Every structure is written in C-alpha cells, then in structure tokens.
Amino acid sequence: MALLDLLGRRWTLRVVWELRRGPLTFAELQRRCDAMSPSVLNQRIGELRAARIIAHAGGGYRLTAEGKKLLASIAPLDDWAKRWARAK
C-alpha cells in the first residue's frame, strides 16, 4: 500500500517517466513536467529518493536499479494506454 500511496501522488509517476531515458537536472525535470511548481517537484524528488526509486548523481537525478524495475513493471500499462487511445 505504501508504494501505491507514493505513486498516486500528483506528478510522481511523471517524474519517474521523465527519467526513463537518463539523468536530468532539477531544471530539466521541471521543464518537462509542465506546470509543476519547484516546491512540489522538490517534495516528489525527496519522496522518490527516500523510497530509493531515484538518486542524485553527477548533477542530475536518475532512476536507481529499483526505479528501473518499477518502470519496467508499469510498461504494460503504457502499452495498454496506447492501444486504448487508438481505439477511442
């Protein structure tokens, strides 16, 4: 339940999704997350770091090994969403 609570918070999955291709700085993450305020981004980063889903490395944030496993586990949901969108 703790993971569902974390992932259900606004912007959390978006941050994980944006890190799927590699590390990003705070400013890059904020740009990619449209209207997210810096305080909310900072909070989500802190929560994801505490959960060991992301880490800070070399001036940017990246998915940890666990974060990559999480991303792989939600990939089927992305596939389903793409099929659903085409069928609409």
- Domain of 15, CATH number, reads 1.10.10.10
- pLDDT for 88: 85
pLDDT of 3-54, one tens digit each?
888 989 999 999 999 999 999 999 999 999 987 899 999 999 999 999 999 9
Per-residue burial over 69-82, b = 16 or more CB atoms within 10 Å of its CB, e = otherwise: ebbeeeeeeeeeee
Tally the domains of the chain: 1
pLDDT of 57-73, one tens digit each?
888 999 999 999 999 99
pTM for the full model? Answer: 0.88
Q: What gap in Å lies between CA 57 and CA 54, rounded to an integer?
A: 10
What's the domain range around 61?
2-87
